Structure 1
Amino acid sequence: MRLLGHISEEKPGLQRLATSPAVYWIALLALCGAYLQGGITKALDFQAAVAEMAHFGLEPAQPFALAVIVLELGASFLILAGFYRWIGALALAGFTAMAAFLANAFWLADETDRLRLMNAFMEHFGLAGGFILVAWHDIKQGIARTRS
């Protein structure tokens, strides 16, 4: 119990570690990991990327493949670099939500695939929610900086 004296504002060790800039950046890297891997893989095998777009009915497939590569890598770069992070995060949130509807339409699937697609659908929405939180945090920080 502190009756007199200085009350420390310093965080305990685990809180200090969990809120460190390094942990925040590693969390952002983990969140962007699938998009970095996807963008690099598509760029290295562009014909497979084109085939993937065609498989999902996105025509003309080549411009869609190029746009997805640019989006996945570009938005991830914005997030990791902290340069207009909120724009990159909202772009990947929107992309992820659209991809969930396009690639994981569990409500159209037969009994065999329904559970697998439903799980993938919900995982995509979890990722989209994570990106929305990143955007929210970045925008909120920007507002706090302009008020101080």
Structure 2
Amino acid sequence: MNTIKMQNARMVERLRPILAAPVLRWVALLGLCAAYLQGGFDKAADFSSAIAEMNHFGLSPAAPLAVATIAMEIVASILILTGFYRWLGALALAGFTFFATFVANRFWEMAPPERVLAANSFFEHLGLVGGFLLVAWYDLRERCHVSDP
């Protein structure tokens, strides 16, 4: 058993410089925010489609909600990527994603095969919510200088 622990410790020490690299953390955060940046910029570039999307999901007033969505997706992503109030950006996107998931992926109201695709998307989005909550948790923990229990 000690041999396994020693091998794990050596492996962790070899990986530490890679895993601790700030660029790796930033790339991971960019991956988490990529869909929101792309969505925000696409909606801003084609605002009439953004309004049509709001109308499709029965959200009104469509234009102000489209503006709010664009701002949320872009500004919260920038907060996360820059580290300026990262926790706030992460909580904002977690809440936004949670709400949007229940609006856009109502799989329980669908018949197969659409139900399967919507259910997959629903739970994938809940995974994003969890990722954003972890980002907020780690950022707040770092700011408060709290160590692991």
Q: CA RMSD in A?
A: 1.1
The answer as to 2:41 corresponding to 1:56 is no
Q: CA deviation at 1:140?
A: 0.3
CA distance in 2, matches of 1:13, 1:33: 30
Q: CA deviation at 1:16?
A: 1.6
CA distance in 2, matches of 1:115, 1:20: 39
Q: CA deviation at 1:13?
A: 3.2
The answer as to 2:120 corresponding to 1:119 is yes
Instruction: Give the counterpart letter for 1:114 in structure 2.
Output: R
- Alignment deviations for residues 17-51 of structure 1 (CA, whole Å, 9 cap, x no partner): 01211111110000000000000000000000000
* 1:132 match: 133
Instruction: Give the counterpart letter for 1:28 in structure 2.
Output: L
Residues 43-122 of structure 1 aligned to structure 2 (within 5 Å) = 43-122=44-123
1:92 is paired with a residue of what secondary structure?
A: helix
Instruction: Give the counterpart letter for 1:23 in structure 2.
Output: L
Instruction: Give the counterpart letter for 1:33 in structure 2.
Output: A
* 1:3 match: none
Instruction: Give the counterpart letter for 1:131 in structure 2.
Output: F
CA distance in 2, matches of 1:76, 1:34: 10
Q: TM (normalized to structure 2)?
A: 0.88
Q: CA deviation at 1:15?
A: 2.3
Q: CA deviation at 1:61?
A: 0.4
Identity of aligned residues (%): 54
Q: CA deviation at 1:96?
A: 0.5
Instruction: Give the counterpart letter for 2:41 in structure 1.
Output: I
CA distance in 2, matches of 1:15, 1:117: 39
Q: CA deviation at 1:14?
A: 2.0
Structure 1 runs, 4 residues or longer, greater than 6 Å off: none
